[in-house]
Amino acid sequence: MIHLKISNIDEINDWYTDEIVKIVKKNATISIIPHDHPFVIKLDNWLTDYDNVRQLISVPVDILRERYDVIEEYCRIIELFTEGMLYERRIRSIKSNRNNKAKYLEKRTEYIEDHISELLIIYEKLNTVKQEAKISDAKQSWKNFENMLKDAKKYIDYSKLFIENHISWAWLDKDSYLKGELVSRLNIKVCPYCNRQYIQSITKYGNKKYLGDIDHIQPKSDFPLFALSFYNLIPACKPCNQLFKRDKKLKILNPYLEGFDDAAILELRYASVKELIGEKPVSDLRWTLSGPQRALSEEQKNLIKNNIELFGLNEVYKSDVDEFQYVQKKKYLLESRSLHLSVKKIMAKLVHWYLGDKMYYGVSLDSDMFQNEILSKAIYDIVKYN
């Protein structure tokens, strides 16, 4: 949700890429390529050129996809395949509908018609079997359709094994010095996904301990090719990484490149006047899209909604509602426009002018500081927009 602002990011990326290319040169092994596997041969050729490996490590995935056909092809295959796996789950739910035979058959046909062309693209890329035969086979029999998926999985699993010869997360994961050094150079103090947990490095008994995790924004289980790519490695808190995100397929904002900014804000929802004036605790809050700030594309809206959903932001922020209500009270005190300002209000203004936002509200109200201050984005929204 937070757009990370790291002033020397290019310098860190260069250093990291140099280190990783050294590791790749040391560890990469030659793959045994089956002669009838055109896509794997293409990817293999691409990966044996270290200039390409540098690009793979240092450049964001979306740009790589535009720049290299082979990367675009790879991503599309994996995307279609992971979609295929989700379809399989749907297949099972359709199957459980079997007692209503007519409905089951109707849904099954509809389903195959909808998805067969997409699945065939996987085939086109991965093997050389005649496509026409496959289409008619799969349309005729449900079993054939399921076999197609199983077959596709075989190829994807094969490509994973092959990629691990060139790129492996284990190489960085076991290098605790390099991993720790990357995290401390990035110097991000608060989880960019939730803005609610500290993730900085601390030193104990002379050893650096990193309080967070490194998340692969494109899960390494699906996209092992990007397991070491700089822009794919997001320092994040353990709850966000291990409880919420895990290997989920939802596409979300990449905090190195974009955040909610003013397009999604935290809103306190008041059920009564008493809640509004602080006599009763606020009953609800919501992260919502804030229209007037800028016109959002459907894709951006979806990415933001996915972030809110995936990290359970509406749920986890509920436990901070007292804090937010307190901020709201301070704001009310400061902004009251009564002709007869009470001594309290004058004092509040004086105190605020004297101390500034950080002392008054507890955070700087500066979007450049979101990555260093817990709950800062939410408090900023309450002061600015609620």
Enumerate binding residues for Zn ion (CB under 5 A). Answer: 191, 193-194, 197, 237, 240
Residue 380 Cβ, how far from Zn ion at the closest point, in Å?
17
Residue 343 Cβ, how far from Zn ion at the closest point, in Å?
42
Residue 241 Cβ, how far from Zn ion at the closest point, in Å?
8
CA dist 273 and 333 (Å) reads 16
Nearer to Zn ion, 47 or 191 (CB): 191
What residue has token string 């979609």? 83
What's the Cα-to-Cα distance from 324 to each of 97, 137, 281, 305, rounded to whole Å? 47, 60, 10, 22
Task: Show the CA angle centred on residue 151, arms to residues 148 and 152, nearest 5°.
Answer: 85
Nearer to Zn ion, 1 or 94 (CB): 1
**Token digits for 219?**
């899960």
Residue 192 Cβ, how far from Zn ion at the closest point, in Å?
8
Residue 375 Cβ, how far from Zn ion at the closest point, in Å?
12
Residue type, 71: I
Residue 196 Cβ, how far from Zn ion at the closest point, in Å?
6
Ramachandran region, residue 200 (left: φ > 0; alpha: ψ -120 to 50; beta: rest)? beta
Task: Show the CA angle centred on residue 265, arms to residues 184 and 333, nearest 5°.
Answer: 100
Beta bridge partners of 264: 289
Nearer to Zn ion, 84 or 192 (CB): 192
Nearer to Zn ion, 123 or 193 (CB): 193
Beta bridge partners of 323: none
DSSP 299-367: HHHHHHHHHHHHTTHHHHGGGGHHHHHHHHHHHHHHH---SS--HHHHHHHHHHHHHHHHHHHSS---G
Nearer to Zn ion, 59 or 375 (CB): 375
Nearer to Zn ion, 53 or 188 (CB): 188
